[in-house]
Structure 1
Amino acid sequence: MRRRTAVVAGVVAMATVLTGCDFSVYSLPLPGGAKIKGPSYSITVEFSDVLDLVPKSSVKVDDVTVGTVQKVWLEGYVAKVKLKLPKSVDLPDNSRATIRQTSLLGEKFVSLAPPTGDEKPRGKLENGELIPLSRTTSNVEVEEVLSALSLLLNGGGVAQLQIITQELNKALTGNEPAIRSVLTQLNTFVGTLDKNKQQIVTAITAVDALAKKLNAQKATLATAIDSLPKSIATLDKQRAALVKTLQALAKLGNTATRVITASQQDLVANLQSLYPLLTKLAEAGENLPKSLELLLTYPFPDAAAKAVKGDFTNLDITLDVNTKKALEGILGLKLPNVGPNALPTGNVSLPLHNPPKFPTNGLPSLPVPTGATTTCITLLGLPVCTAKLNRSAFDPELAKVLMPGVAK
């Protein structure tokens, strides 16, 4: 009785001591991660599934234990593991982390390794850094392998493999040429798709852009579709009028065809007659509008208005008249060619108030201005006179403006 009391008292005393201290199971010396002495640093690793990884598990590099797992917790749908490593472990910044198993039924541990393949190591892994989910993996569990194997053996395909093989043999026997042709065509089809994959991608991109535009105009399309039945009903009501309109258009077309056929030759002849006129108008070019400009101010061009200073202008004109051509035009006669030395000449000064009088044969009487000198000759019994104006404040530039090509 005394021995039992002593044991109970010892257990109570031990429980009292333990409850009075900051005690945790993880503080007990358990097998697992390496004991780190000296400087160290911590990193965080993300996993989609940590399996049954627990704190105090090992952290290995090249299958050598170098650190330990400090903490495992869940953040959202991602499991995070905090690792403690000694400063002597030098790993690149883009290292990869994998949850592995020591043996078939052994404990789990975290394996760290530099990147492999085309990716080259860069930087250095330091305290507080994170290895993201994209650079972590976990090996297949034994339980998963056994579960898949049991599904295959108990409910699955092992019992059906013989039936599947027999049915395939029945289906393929005697159809080898057709199957070979199908495989050849399939190979050609896949090869054509591979050659035109860029065009296919471009077409899919264009369809995607079209779908986005249609989605942006969804309200407008819905309004158009809603109003479409009313439009169709309106067209249905106007069907008879539309039919009559189309029939009238058909008659008009037939009539126009007959008219054009009947007048074809005349139309071609008119066009051929217009061709020379249009050709000459085209050749006239910019000369035609210039001549039309002179029509309203003949015989002076538009620039003559700039030569008028106030209410007067100075003008000196020399008229050179071919008397033979003038008489032939006035009398309607064909005069013989006579040399200039065969005609008598003379100078006659006529007063202003007594201009020469020509016979009544249609010749006009011309008054002679003040200061003019008149020269007359006798041709076939008729006096022929020329008058020359005396120069008075003559301005050559003004004469060029007033009578271009004539004034001298």
Structure 2
Amino acid sequence: MLAVFAVGCLTLAGCSSGEFKGVYDLPLPGGADVGDHPYSVTVQFADVLDLVPQAAVKVGDVPVGRVREVRLGGDGWTAETVLEVNGDVVLPANAVARLRQSSLLGEKFVELAPPDGDTKTADAKNAGTGRLANGATITLDRTNRNPEFEEIFGALSLLLNGGGIGQLQTINRELSKVMDGNEEQIRSFLSGVNTLVTDLDAHRSNITEALDGLNRLSATLANRHEQVSGALTDLTPGLQTLTDQRTQLVSMLQSLDRLGTVATDVVDRSRADMVADLRALAPILGQLAAAGENLPQSLQMLPTFPFPDSVLNTVKGDYVNAFVSMIPAPGVPLPPLGEGVPETGLPVFPSVSKTPAPSGGR
């Protein structure tokens, strides 16, 4: 059976137009059908692991092609795989490639897929643009691989042998010592934490508004950076002056403190005398208040002193005489006056009637 299969394969290889390069050129039974017009895609991997030619290429766990070649990249560090994909399979131009494993110990294969969250594959198919084309390259930033079985167990071995697993017993023992006898305090602490978290959750909207306000304040300060910087720069000389006069300011405050102490002592000592003075002043103020209208009425006599207004109304048909004398300042010449000027040069004016008697007087 195997001989017949080998003979058939060799016959097919000899009939093909291409050069036979060995067993890797033989198609695997049950492999993917790449169709009559497949297209090739080059995929770069940082580590290709044990991927071999003729391995499957899948999209959504459906075989759509095969690995045609595995080679070293031009930089000497990157592995490159050339894939043959069925021409009817449409993928976006930014498709990603992952090196997967069919089972825990199964074969490796390459999975092609749109980027996570990309739903534009159908649009690319309908528009005919933005699709993965023949000869395209999927670079390193769009490829990855799953961890190997050996790597998982190696990391687990490191954790169990040289990691922190051995410290769990010590941690558990120390926690038991801390909690022993402190159950009430720990329970109270947890209750307080629960209350705190509950209050924070109840005021979540207020906290959010406060954070938003702080964000707006920060944005405002950021927009006014030059003004704030200028204000701080202008404050520097004033602060320097305050620093230079710190001794005088401290002395002034100490003097004010002593003045306050002395003033308090003076008020305390003179309190009794001041109260006595106010009590002695109370009768005088009382008599002034009792005078009432008499005091302002008595002041009305001042303009007609020594005669009150009542005298002016009782003298009928006569005059109240007044004499006015004027003495000029030294060096001021006198104007020529008429009769009645004495030899002394001091004019004496005749009597002038102040107010005529009311009509009907005798």
Same fold (TM over 0.5): no
Superposition TM-score, scaled by structure 1 size: 0.39
